[in-house]
Amino acid sequence: MRGFISPICAFVTFASFPLIAGCQTLPQARVVRVALQSDTGHWRVKVNGEKGHSDISNSSLTNQFVQLQLRQGDLVVFKDWPTNDSAPVTKTWSWVLQFCASNGVAMYFYAGHQTEEELFSIPIYNWTAPFSDPRALVRASFFDDGKFLGRGMDGYRKMVDAIAKTKPRKVLIVGGLHDMDSGFGPDERPYEQQQDLLDQALKNSGTELVLIDPLP
């Protein structure tokens, strides 16, 4: 759930250093799905490609975010936020937003007609790129729900090939946080010049790409 760990060296950071203790590390980027259970005041949470999910309390949610040590490159997809003045839930919601903002974690809102079940079942492919240059394909890494696929053009092709092979009905493709104060828009992606490869795969597979914007 935390990423891949080599038998001879531990995962140490999201950044990809060339060599550490004689072995090469892999990039890491977690995907966290979160939905508020309004009838119970609990939260439904799924990390990366877990088969199941957890229904947890307010305190457990904050503890889990701290334990995951989420940072730039990771992302959280929310289904709903509190619509009443329930103090514990509202306080937790505010804490989560502040935690993500402080740690450079990208936040997305799965709004509209989509159901909670869809949020927890839809395939999510994610990517990371330098905070200051989200268009840099050569420095980007690609993941299948947090599972590392590859870097650069090789990683992008593996993502496209995975979609073409599995043919999901719907799919999300989202990226880590980037610096929008430097003139970049919310929809920047490192494969913009190779978008036609993805478009063709989606068309051939009959797959709908669900578009969601990052929370400011």
Residue 86 binned pLDDT confidence (cut-offs 50, 70, 90)? low
Looking at residue 6, what is its pLDDT? 34
pLDDT of 206 higher than 70: yes
What mean pLDDT, rounded, does the chain reach?
A: 85
Q: What is the dihedral of CA 164, 148, 18, 128, to 10 degrees?
A: 80
Comparing 14 with 36, which gets the higher pLDDT? Answer: 36
Looking at residue 74, what is its pLDDT? 97
pLDDT of 175 higher than 90: yes
Looking at residue 83, what is its pLDDT? 67
Looking at residue 16, what is its pLDDT? 38
Mean pLDDT (whole number) for 140-155: 97
**Pick from 116, 115, 125: which is nearest to 43 by CA?**
116
Comparing 125 with 79, which gets the higher pLDDT? Answer: 125
Looking at residue 39, what is its pLDDT? 65
Q: What are the DSSP calls for the chain, one per residue? A: -----BTTB----SS--S-BTTB-------EEEEEEETTTTEEEEEETT-SS-EEE-HHHHHHHHHHHT--BTBEEEES----S--HHHHHHHHHHHHHHHHHT-EEEE--TT--HHHHTTS-EEEEE--TT-TT-GGG-EEEETTEEEEEHHHHHHHHHHHHHHH--SEEEEEE----GGGT--TT--TTGGGHHHHHHHHHHHT-EE---PBP-
Q: Residue 211: what residue type?
A: L
Quote the pTM value. 0.84
CA angle centred on 63, ends 60 and 68, rounded to 5°: 125
pLDDT of 4 higher than 60: no
Pair of tokens at residue 147: 């599972």
Residue with tokens 């990052």: 214
Looking at residue 213, what is its pLDDT? 79
**Are the beta carbons of 126 and 161 closer than 8 angstroms?**
no
Looking at residue 46, what is its pLDDT? 94
Looking at residue 182, what is its pLDDT? 83
Mean pLDDT (whole number) for 111-139: 90
Residue 24 binned pLDDT confidence (cut-offs 50, 70, 90)? low
Looking at residue 85, what is its pLDDT? 63
Looking at residue 126, what is its pLDDT? 97
